[in-house]
Chains A and B, each alone.
Chain A
Amino acid sequence: MLLKAENIIKKFDDSLVLDGISLEVKEGEVVVIIGPSGSGKSTILRCLTQLEQVDSGRIELDGKLMVDTVDGKTVYSNSKILHKLILDVGLVFQNFNLFPHYSVLRNIVDPQVKVLNRSKEEATKIAMELLDKMNLADRGDSYPCELSGGQQQRIAIARALALNPKILFFDEPTSALDPELTGEILKVIRSLAQEKMTMVIVTHEMAFAREVADRVIFMDNGNIVEQGTPEEVFGNSVNQRTKDFLQRYSNS
């Protein structure tokens, strides 16, 4: 098991956002998380990428322990291990969050050089290969503000991939895009899936979820309500809440 999260509880002030959720991801698996807004989909990703601290629970990634709760006490590992764990994950944001003052190429090169201590030549070579893969080889010298949302998101994916993460998280990667631009992002994710990249994707693109996922998870109220293969969840969901949710989606 590449990723193992157990009994994660996360509260914001008084509201319970994650209610004891457990999640396992195998190497090479593509997991898609769907569910209504406020169900905790993004929060679980943010906990797994250390952007939020869990209130209790246990997270293990690639054999390294991030956090554990023993006898009611939640303790995070030391900063050295946490830094290693950060390098194991990549996160693609809804709003891209590219660095606007860096050129496209530098957005991808700088983290490699500064965080992984790669040489500039090597980092540039890797960046160019990734840009080529994203069909953006000619945009290396552009600045993010000169690109469309779809192009920016592809750069953000390349930036994450350049650090060779073991697992890549997507937090609604197409939600900020015009409908005609979502296709290019989904194409990239699809090709990553073919390369057996381990991915956890939060999305509202149901058709895409059905197509790309090895496993679909339906979340509501901070926990998993139902999970299974796309056929099981979309085809004949057993849970009423899942049915209602999918019903609303197919009507809209």
Chain B
Amino acid sequence: MTIASKTPLTAGSTRLISLSSVMPWAFAALFLMCLPLVFQSNSALTIMNQMAITIVFALSYNMLLGQGGMLSFGHAVYMGLGGFFAMHVMNWVEDGLWLPLPLLPIVGGLFGLLFAFLIGSFSTRRAGTTFAMISLGVGELIAACSIIIVVFFGGEEGVSGDRTMGPPVFGYEFLSQLEVYYLTAAWLLLAALLMFLFSRTPIGRIANAVRDNEERAEFLGYSQRKVRWISFCFSGFFAGVAGSLFAINFEILTEENLNLATSGTILLVTFIGGAGFFVGPIIGAVVFTLLQTVLGLHTELWALYLGILFVSCVMFFPGGFAGLIAMHRRPLALGKMHLLVRPYLKVAIPAATSVLSLAALLEILHHKRHSYGDDHAMSLYGIAFDAGGMGSVLVTLAIAALSLFLVSRILPEIKAAWDEANHAGGAA
């Protein structure tokens, strides 16, 4: 049945793509284009590429966790399989197969989709614990296979290749890191856009419905299994795309790319960013890659800090970083953000000092345990000191205690300001 539009003036506007929906993407494209102008070194480009790959992977994971309500412990399988296949195709290209490098992620994606289709056929029957357990089992199975089936997985050395052997695309052969960056960034944008659009389709919305209440969805004509399966296939495709991008960037894939540790990492990344929001995994991937690469350069303990971040995220802000930002929508809508500025500024220095001094404490203790012989010289935040005696520990403890005390004194003020900022109407 068709119903004539009651508002002919606005009827046409729904057909056009509205400016407000295009702007964020145009801005993102511009941003990605300009990034290499600021960060020019090869290592910075590598970090950005790694970030882009993690973003695509995390977004594909969130199609399951955030949008479909499927907690997977084995999502690296699809990224890994897609990546391995892309690696093989890259080698076939070297032997004469015609395929321009920018199209490789499609091939890897389709391979990921194929396996998601096969495995999803039985794993998506139920959500919850059943799905989680099957994903764990399949993850372990494929990781074990990667050592056994040497033809495909290359055993412990993995599979490597050379991305530059394909036909040149407009003269580019992807020799330089910058060219690879633009290729990766273009795929990041395309994949993110497609995943965003997926969430706006009927199946995308019904995936949310099945996540929230699978029984109700069944009584509305939808097979919960089929809805999950379709989401799962799409997720597998984009994981395969991420794997292919990894293959293009690093020219090697090993068991590490599809084992349970990688699956666990992407769960952590998505959760820290905020599974309930489309941008959540993007934030999570950026934070994670920075911790891993930049912080990883300075301290061996980066994984510990990541773990602490994850645990505090689960305990104190389960919406992740995106959730923290989204909390401020209401004060913003009420025009009361200014109430929060002062308390936030006030707490910033003590809070930062607490975090830094607690981290310093961990670093000093770590240094004391692992330094050789009498080499107690240490440098933190640009301050050189002798970590030999208990002096440095006591000083750091004192700073930590003092700053934590200050934070605890400011907290009630923040809470009061928060309540006031979320309170509709005039002054309370």
B is a partner of A: no
Q: Which positions in A face B, CB cutoff 8 Å?
A: none
